[in-house]
Every structure is written in C-alpha cells, then in structure tokens.
Amino acid sequence: MTDLTVRAMSAAEFDSWQHELAVEYAREHVAAGNWTAEEGVERARAAIAAQLPDGMATPGQLILVGVLPDGTPVGRIWISLTHPRGLPDCAFIQDIEVLADRRGQGLGRALLAAGERVARERGARALELNVFGANEAAATLYRTSGYRVVTQQMRKDLLP
C-alpha cells in the first residue's frame, strides 16, 4: 500500500476545501435528483455549516489532509467521531477525496486506511459512510476495503 499519513488541515486549506466540498456535494445531489442546480451549492453550504458550526474547531471532527512522505498533499478526509444517527462507538466519514490529478494511484485506499487508524486511535470501534449510487468507483473501493452495506436507500422515478 502507498505510504501516506494524515495531518490536521490548515486554516487556508480549510477555507478552500469548504468551497470545493460544497460544489462537489451539490453536484452529487443534483445528479441524484435531490436538488436543483440553482439551489445546490447554497444547500450544500448550509448542510456543511450545520455540521461544522465552529468550523475547524467544531468538537468531534477530524478534518485531515493526506500527505506523502515528502509532505505533498494528495487528498482530504473528514471524519465525525459522533455518528449522525447516534450509533455508539461508530465514527462517520463525511467526506474523502483524492486530488483529481492523483487518482488511480492507490491513494484513495491509503487515505481511507489512514483515516481508519486515526478514528480507531480516537476510540471508534466502527466507521460508516454514505456513497452516492452513481459513484461506482468509490463503492468498489469501500467494498474492497472491508466495508459492507448496512442500509440502502433506493429510488424509482415515476414521471416520464
């Protein structure tokens, strides 16, 4: 596996990441048919702000950058140590992303493993995440990394 560690995100990285996260999260919700393109980014920003009311200082949040041994940042991972549905001892990956120009090099798997180590060190006994149905590459990564489906939401459009 690729040698990768994680470090806390800097304030400048956090500002940039919040914007990029909102755009990507909105894109996924629009593609899934949950939100309109016009409302997407604003809804995403509001959802992120609700989960991070104190920004980087919000308790129970690990907002990390994946770095190579030479210090080069290659991705980000956000883990909530408190599960959104209150599951005891279960942390939750809110976001994980490898930088676009670094994908396909095994860094996603390494970043996921590094995040798992940090969550375990902080007392988590399990780790969950959500993945959009159209994101088959991510779903494959998670399955082959030992994650299993514990809940599944499905939809059928009824209008022509």
Q: For residue 9, what is the DSSP state?
A: P
Does the structure show a pLDDT above 70 at 137? yes
Mean pLDDT value across the chain:
92
**Model confidence pLDDT, tens digit, residues 45-102:** 999 999 999 999 999 999 999 999 999 999 999 999 999 899 999 999 999 999 989 9
pTM as predicted: 0.89
- Rounded to 10 degrees, the C-alpha dihedral 61/69/139/56 comes to 20
Per-residue pLDDT at 1: 61
Sort strands 126-129 and 90-98 into parallel, antiparallel or unpaired: parallel
CB-based contacts of 73, cutoff 8 Å, min separation 6: 13, 65, 66, 67, 99
| Overall average pLDDT of the 128-146 stretch | 90
Does the structure show a pLDDT above 70 at 29? yes
